[in-house]
Structure 1
Amino acid sequence: MRTVFAGTPLFALPTLEALVKAGYDVPGVLTQPDRPAGRGRRLTPSAVKTRAGALGIPVYTPENGAEAEAVVRALGADVVVVVAYGLLLPPGLLDIPTHGCLNIHASLLPRWRGAAPIARAIEAGDTKTGVTIMRLDTGLDTGPMLARAAVAIAPCDTTETLADRLAHLGAETLMPVLDALREGRPVTEIAQPASGATYARKLRKDEGVIDWRRDAVALERQIRAFTPWPGVRAVIGGTSVKIGTAHAVDAPRPAEPGVVLEVRPDLVIATGQRALAVTSLQADNARMQPAQIFLQAHPLSVGNRVG
């Protein structure tokens, strides 16, 4: 079964590697064009482009839907597997493969349709999430479901750690579906329920500015959800920092939001409700470090304010 793969970031690699390991004929990979990255803003290939090249698979970087459609048609795809491709596939492409286009979506649909399902699940305080294997249609993550698998969200999970688990779970959940299609066995498709749909809007950089007036639990979730990007930023000790890890604690005394309550053993800051214990942070042009190491160079006292 000729299986064209469309994906871009690290999240897509476990599925690409699973296809190759299982002996699927992958005649080509679609991925986004090279993008500027890093401090030097040099053009950098996607993780999928790099891995596909190492596997000896031809790589295509269509600039628009028409180019993508032409590539899939020329490759004679029986099925297209889509994992975090990052670009919308044109309606005309969806019907080209015999078995359509199958997508691994990182949520238990219909909850968290859209661009940032992992981060929004953490931000909302969900205790579980998962992956859904769905057939793409012309809607936004609205197609019928072929398989689902759930996983618990740990209290310490960040978008980075949870994405790693979901990437492997997605590959594991997809392969039995593909095997059934390849062997001509029936695959049950279930329409998404009309109720329970939520939208996971794309993350914006300006969402990473901390507001100490919010409650500590919400801030803890924000920090975990926005790790690694865009990060949650604050001004502590007169220095702009990205908060790495923190957790909600009971405030030792009443104080206005943004007031330092303790500096040892943790840096504890008052919030709108309870307090936030900051355990690691990163100054600009520096590495992430424990809060106590940071405070050696940027001393704070109880009663100081942070921004």
Structure 2
Amino acid sequence: MKLIFAGTPEFAASALQALIDAGHDIALVLTQPDRPAGRGMKLKASPVKTLALAHGLPVSQPLTLKTAEAQAEIAAVGAEVMVVAAYGLILPKAVLEMPTRGCLNIHASLLPRWRGAAPIHRAIEAGDAETGVTIMQMDVGLDTGDMLLTVREPIHADDSTGSLHDRLAAQGAQAMVAALAQLDALSPQPQPAEGVTYAEKIGKAEAQLDWSLPAEVLHRKIRAFNPFPGASTLAGGEALKIWQAQLADGAGAPGEVLAADADGVRIACGSGALLATQLQAAGGKRLAAREFLAGHSLPARLGE
């Protein structure tokens, strides 16, 4: 098919590569403008732009799709379908109606659960047993369109957002290829009215660990906020990130460091305890507990 592809991060790049491999005619790639990144804050192209240019595909980076100029560029393509994956810009009604067969979105949840910006993070944080990918016919609502195809995926006890993201990106890419291949045979299904939840965008303030919460809740937060923004606490007034942890036995005042050895840092929670096994001091690198403790000391209590 003649396609327009709209996407920005690695999740979307996986889908673009699959569409290229499947032989589709990618007539235009839409992606977010280059953003400052890294310590030097130099402009950096999105993963989708980098991939598109490597394949010689035309790229456009409008700030918005609401302008006449951006809409004229899209209309001129005469695409059959626009494929959207984590693009980051709202598609106005006029744009949604331009492709002759509509706009299809790859959404990383089993809709209607976890509509919105951060479905992978929120599924792990909530303790969901499974999630998946939904191929959806887009409409003017926020992830409210009819469903064309779903793929289910279990959430493992040790999954982080990073590990689950990679599996869902691969599944979403293949699901979109499959959906396009059988588009005439697919029957759009309205989303159920019950079971709607919203995956709000992750704020950095959320990643601050509250040690009065149960260990199970904090364990899910650590996994959900890895790799972004990273679960954090205070250690003697200095920021400390905890990237990996396990549920552990132990009791004490919330935030109390019960033990610190080669196995990890055992921390008391509101109920139960966590064993932090990968930590990062401010300005430092992620380190296994053994390496971290060789170069850093910890106060008797975290969170202050």
Q: Which TM class, normalised by the smaller chain length?
A: over 0.9
* Structure 1 contact 4–26 (Cα < 8 Å) conserved: yes
After TM superposition, the score normalised by the length of structure 1 is 0.95
2:158 corresponds to which residue? Answer: 156
Structure 1 match to 2:233: 234
Would the aligned equivalents of 1:208 and 1:226 in 2 still touch at CA under 8 Å?
A: yes
Aligned partners of 1:23, 1:255: CA distance in 2, in Å?
60
Please tell me whether residue 72 in structure 1 is matched to residue 74 in structure 2. Answer: yes
Identity across the alignment (%) = 52
Q: Of 290, 293, 296, which aligns to 2:291?
A: 293
Tell me what 1:256 maps to: 253
Amino acid aligned to 1:55: H
**Structure 1 CA distance for aligned equivalents of residues 223 and 21 of structure 2:** 33
- 1:82-97 to 2 correspondence within 5 Å? 82-97=84-99
**Letter of the aligned partner of 1:260 in structure 2?**
V
> Counterparts of 2:237 and 2:287 in 1: how far apart (Å)?
17
AA in 1 matched with 2:40: G
Moved more, 286-295 or 22-31: 286-295
1:230-276: CA deviations, max 9, x gaps? Answer: 1111123664221110122121xx42101111113321011101011
How big is each residue's C-alpha offset from its partner over 1:114-139, in whole Å with a ceiling of 9 and x where there is no partner? 00000000000001000000011010
Distance in 2 of aligned mates of 1:280 and 1:176: 39
Aligned pair partner of 1:107 in 101, 106, 109: 109
Shift of 1:109: 0.2
- Structure 1: gaps spanning 5 or more residues: none
- Which letter maps to 1:286? G
Q: What aligned pairs does 1:241-280 form with structure 2 within 5 A after superposition?
A: 241-251=240-250, 254-264=251-261, 265-280=263-278
- Measure, in 2, the Cα distance between the counterparts of 1:299 and 1:6: 47
In structure 2, distance between residues paired with 1:300 and 1:200: 35
Aligned residue for 2:176? 174
Does structure 1 residue 131 correspond to structure 2 residue 130?
Answer: no
Question: Helix, strand or coil: the match of 2:153?
Answer: strand
Moved over 6 A (4+): none
Q: Find the counterpart in structure 1 of residue 34 from structure 2.
A: 34
Measure the CA separation in 1 of the matches of 2:203 and 2:237.
25
Post-superposition offset of 1:39: 1.4
C-alpha separation in 2, matches of 1:226 and 1:78: 38
How many equivalent residue pairs?
A: 300
Which residue does 2:5 correspond to in 1? 5
SS in 1 for 2:182: helix
Give the structure-2-normalised TM-score: 0.96
The unaligned stretches of length 5 or more in structure 2 are: none
What is the SS of the residue equivalent to 1:119?
helix
Q: Indicate the larger mover: 136-145 or 169-178.
A: 169-178
CA distance in structure 2 between the aligned counterparts of 1:5 and 1:178, rounded to whole angstroms: 13
Q: Considering only aligned residues, what root-mean-square deviation do their CA atoms show, in Å? A: 1.3
Instruction: Name the counterpart of 2:211.
Output: 212
* Match of residue 198 from structure 1: 197
Range 141-150 or range 263-272, more displaced: 263-272
The alpha-carbon deviation at position 83 of structure 1 amounts to 0.5
Give the structure 2 partner of residue 62 of structure 1.
62
Residue pair 1:79, 1:98 contacting (<8 A) in 2 also: yes
**How far off is 1:279 after superposition?**
0.5
* Counterpart residue number, 1:51: 51
2:257 aligned partner, one-letter code: V
